[in-house]
Amino acid sequence: MTEAEQYMQQALDLAKTAMGHTSPNPMVGCVVVKNGKLVASGCHERYGEFHAERNALTRCKEDLTGADLYVTLEPCCHQGKTPPCTDIIIERKIGRVFVGALDPNPKVDGGGIKILREHGIEVITGILEQECLALNEIFFHYITTGLPYVAMKYAMTLDGKIASANGDSKWVTGEKAREHVHFLRKKYSAILAGIDTVLADDPLLNCRTEEGVDPIRVICDSHLRLPMDSQIVKTAGKIRTIAAYTDAEEGTKKKLKSTGVELLQISEKNGHVDLEKLIRTLGEKKIDSILVEGGGNIHGSLLQTGLVNRVYAYIAPKLIGGKNALPPVGGDGIEKMKDAVVLQNQEILHLGADYCIRGDVVK
């Protein structure tokens, strides 16, 4: 690594410490170096609060004239919830700014770099660019499409079953694989499951990692069958919970709303919640990413929308058989292999006795 890359890596590491807290904003880290010495650092700690550059520069009281600033994302140049970062960079007389990735936000989109250069500040771009792009893949997708980044997750046996014929699924995978799922729940803003999953497993769908943030829980429940004594309903006052439905009795709606459950009426498609409409509506509500932990029917329907961006398949070295045992992806499926959903950029993780295959859906 070059010296610039080493400092940018420090900024990346700082940015990651805020995972789960900045949505729908990006994670950003910043370090300031003067005369070969690290003199300031900061990250964007929470949505609505100061950005990384302003945090780093306001905490440093020494003269920063001519210093180098390393930041994972192009400094903003517009007034939002906080002042433009370009202003304080200019005020503190920074000499050079090293940028990891450009900001595709239409309010920035190269404008931050342009302003800095107009004020005589040297700007060097593309430092650990791929790593900086990967850090905020969710933000880049959401800011350019308006759609949440959708990841589908399931755990299955080696013969492709997520549960036995009678529905038993505890546990397909071991502890390490289940711990990794909680890391994903920290990364994604919302978790989506179907009412069948709630009725079968009574899950909590929270995040149990250290300093983890519970994702927003979205339950597809066409006719609001959510049991009042389910863990989802009993904790709705503490964890934001949305029930997406098509039609339901007024009394049922009133009871659920009294527990803190938010009700979201979505148009019907084939007798169920229209998943494409639901995903788009959640995006309009500033939910930038969704981890789908549904059953085979939801997974099959969701793949048909073309809105899935990533798949996490956890595979356990077990065989359970059974022609009626449940598969991870249901629905009508495809007729020709050439029409299969293909994954690229695959990564394989070894988690105890299990494996996780991660891949991005080819669009």
Amino acid, res. 293: E
Dist CA 167 CA 173 (whole Å): 15
Dist CA 294 CA 111 (whole Å): 41
Of the residues 3, 45, 49, 53, only one is catalytic, namely: 53
- How do beta strands 354-361 and 310-316 pair? antiparallel
The verdict on whether 5 is a catalytic residue reads: no
CA distances from 160 to 264, 286, 323, 324 (A): 33, 35, 11, 12
- Identify whether 171 is preceded by a cis peptide bond (ω within 30 of 0): yes
DSSP 74: P
Tell me which residue of 70, 132, 142, 135 sits closest to 105, measured CA to CA. 142
Tell me which residue of 184, 117, 180 sits closest to 150, measured CA to CA. 184
Beta bridge pairs of residue 150:
290
Residue 42 in 3-state DSSP? strand
Dist CA 253 CA 274 (whole Å): 19
DSSP 60: -
- Identify whether 24 is preceded by a cis peptide bond (ω within 30 of 0): yes
* Helix%, strand%, coil% for the chain, nearest 5: 30, 25, 45
CB 56 within 8 A of CB 32: yes
Dist CA 216 CA 16 (whole Å): 20
Tell me which residue of 247, 192, 240, 239 sits closest to 220, measured CA to CA. 192
Dist CA 270 CA 39 (whole Å): 60
Active-site residues: which are they?
A: 53
